[in-house]
Amino acid sequence: MNSGELIYEGKGKRIFSTERDDEVIMSYKDEATAFDGAKKGIIKDKGVINNRISALIYTFLARHGIPTHLVKTLDERNVVVKRLEMIPVEVVVRNLIAGGLAKRLGREEGEALSSPVVELYYKSDALHDPMISESLAVAMGWASEEQLQDMKAQALRINQVLQSFFDGIGIILVDFKLEFGLYQGRLILGDEITPDGCRLWDKISLEKMDKDRFRRDLGGEEEAYQEVVRRIEAALPG
């Protein structure tokens, strides 16, 4: 399958048209950004690693009955995905206190939550992705009540599946971001699940294995991403 015109370019991916109206090519980049693009850099082979990680995870989720946009992998950087009508509401699931939640609450990172917390954010780079309520999302026409309930239910199911999986490979799933869209009227998971949009900590050392290494100038980003994909591939060969 050949890629057509560039439809969209984001921080970590490019989207290209195909000869099919209902499919696009998603191409992963090595560029890394943080703080709404204020910090920029390159993580060597990040695009290759993220493509592999997300494809393996989405295939794994599909086997657990979770619908995703993944169609097939083309090569080390490119996948064919269903063309979705994206809902501009990001869903964040938190299992431990970290990042922005730690700052908002004045709590230490790593503190356990008694149950997973689901947060909603309006997807807007210009507005820095502000946190929103369900009622605001409905009032602004960004999503319906039914869609939001479906998104939250799918997010919690994904969390349940992935928490167990990552625990089995010695990784704590601290928190992660999801995006959803409509395909032929059906709500399905889009975008990606990678160390760019998840907080992943080693279960024993609590070392960060995600983009926080880049955000916080910790170094070792490439090695951390490589270790994540190595563990996932060992558990999900093929």
- Any idea what the CATH number is for the domain that residue 20 is in? 3.30.200.20
Q: How many CA atoms lie within 13 A of 75 on its CB side?
A: 5
Looking at the structure, tell me whether residues 191 and 92 fall in a common domain. Answer: yes
Looking at the domain assignment, is residue 238 inside a domain?
no
What gap in Å lies between CA 134 and CA 233, rounded to an integer? 37
pLDDT less than 50: residues of the chain: none
In-domain check, residue 227:
no
50 SS3 class:
helix
- One domain, residues 94 and 76: no
Say what the pLDDT of residue 34 is. Answer: 85
pLDDT reported for residue 4:
86
pLDDT reported for residue 238: 61
Residue ending a domain, choose from 48, 82, 116: 82
Between CA 181 and CA 171 the distance in angstroms is 28
Q: Are residues 141 and 201 in the same domain?
A: yes
Amino acid at 63: R
What pLDDT, on the 0 to 100 scale, is given for residue 23? 97
For the chain, give the number of residues.
238
Boundaries of domain holding 30: 6-82
Q: Which of 90, 92, 51, 46 is nearest to 70 (CA)?
A: 51
What pLDDT is attached to residue 38?
A: 77
Residue 232: per-residue pLDDT: 98
pLDDT at 35: 80
Question: How many CB atoms sit inside 10 A of residue 201's CB?
Answer: 22
Helix (H, G, I), strand (E, B) or coil at 38: coil
Task: Specify the number of domains making up the chain.
Answer: 2
Query: At 113, which CATH number?
Result: 3.30.470.20
Q: What is the pLDDT of residue 39?
A: 86
